Structure 1
Amino acid sequence: MKLTLPLALAATLALGSCASIVSKSRYPVAISSAPAGATFSIVNREGREVASGVAPTAVTLKSGSSYFQREKYTITFRLEGYEEKVMKLEADVNGWYFGNLVFGGAIGMLIVDPLTGAMYRISEKELQGALLPLGQGLAAPDENLLRVMSLDEVPTSLRSKMVPVQ
C-alpha cells in the first residue's frame, strides 16, 4: 500500500503526455453534399491535397500540422450545374492537452503532444456542402425574393457586389 502512491506518481510523470495517451491525432469526418454526388477536394494549410472523392464518404484527417501548429483544411465541392462551394475546417485545442498541467507532464506538454498533433482535435464529425444551382445565388432574376444566408452560402461570383449594412 505504501508503494502505490509513489508508483502512481512516478508513472504519471513518466507518461506525462496526457493528450497523446488519452486522445488521438487523426479524426474521421463524414463528407456529404446536397445534392449527393458532388466531387470534393480537401487541401491542407500547405496547399497539398490530402483527400478527394465523391460525396458521401468518410475521410480521416490529421489534427496537427507541425510542432505547435494546428491543421487547417479547405474543402471544395463541385458538381456540374451548381456553384462551387468552399468550406473551411480547422483543428482546435484538445482539452486533454491541459491534463499535462494537472499531472506535471512538462515533457508531454512541450514535446510529445505538440509533435504528435494530439494537442489538437477536429471537433467537426461531419461536413455537408450545400450546393446552389448556377444562376440562383441569391434569387432568380425574375423573382423579387429576399433570401437570408450566411457568407459561405453566397456564391463567389456575387461577393464583390455585396455592401455592408450599418
Structure 2
Amino acid sequence: MCFHKTRTMGALLALLALQGCASIISDSKYPVTVTSSPAGANFEVINKSGVVVHRGSTPGVVTLMSGEGYFRGQTYTLRFMREGYPDRQVELDSRVDGWYWANILFGGVIGMLIVDPLTGAMYKLPDEVSADLGQPVAEAMQDALRIVSINDLDPAQRAQLVALQ
C-alpha cells in the first residue's frame, strides 16, 4: 500500500513539474547570430516599441527576448549600415516554439495559459539573421549627378520624392 502511494505522489509531482513545458525545455532569451555581406557592417536591433535594444557590428551575436508580453511574441527590425553601401533593414519575428504544444500532451493547462505565455517561453527566435548590402554605392562628387534606385533610398528620402506629371 505504501509503495502505491509513493508512486502516485511521484506521478503527481512529475505532472506539476511539467506544467510549463516550453519554459522548462526552452528559454525566453535566444542568442541570434547576425551577419552581413560584406562583413563589418554596423547594425541596430529595434524592438516593436521602436527602442534600440542593441548595437553591434557583423559578424556578431546578440541575445534577444522572444516574447513582448502575455501571448505576444516579439518582432525586431535590424538596420544594417556600412560606409559606401546602402542601408538595409531586415525583420526578425518570433514564432511559437514546438515545445509549447507539449503542454497539451502533459495536461499543463497552467503552463499553456499562464507560465509559457507570460514568460515568453512559448515563442522562439531564429538562430541567425543576415543582410546582403548589395554593391557599393559610387561616391558622388559634389554637385555631380547621382543616379540611384528607389530601393537604395531610406524611408526619409522616399518621403521627399516628388511625382512628375
Q: Could you tell me the TM-score, scaled by structure 2's length?
A: 0.78
Which one of 63, 66, 81 corresponds to residue 60 of structure 1? 63
SS at match of 2:84: coil
Contact kept, 8 Å, 1:17 with 1:109, in 2: the verdict is yes
> 1:18: Cα distance to partner?
0.8
For residue 57 of structure 2, what is the amino acid of its counterpart? V
The equivalent residue for 2:142 is none
Tell me, yes or no, if structure 1 residue 157 matches structure 2 residue 153. yes
What count of residue pairs does the alignment treat as equivalent? Answer: 142
> 1:2: Cα distance to partner?
2.6
Q: Counterparts of 1:9-28 in structure 2 under 5 Å?
A: 9-15=11-17, 16-28=19-31
Tell me, yes or no, if structure 1 residue 29 matches structure 2 residue 32. yes
- Which structure 2 segments of 5+ residues have no match? 139-146, 159-165
The equivalent residue for 1:74 is 77
Identical-pair percentage: 43
* Rounded Cα–Cα distance in structure 2 between residues aligned with 1:7 and 1:20: 23
SS at match of 1:155: helix
> 1:19: Cα distance to partner?
0.6
- Decide which structure has the larger Cα Rg and report it: 2
The equivalent residue for 1:138 is none
Contact kept, 8 Å, 2:45 with 2:52, in 1: the verdict is yes
Which one of 47, 50, 55 corresponds to residue 47 of structure 1? 50
- Which structure 1 segments of 5+ residues have no match? 136-140, 142-153, 161-166
* Rounded Cα–Cα distance in structure 1 between residues aligned with 2:14 and 2:110: 11
The equivalent residue for 1:113 is 116
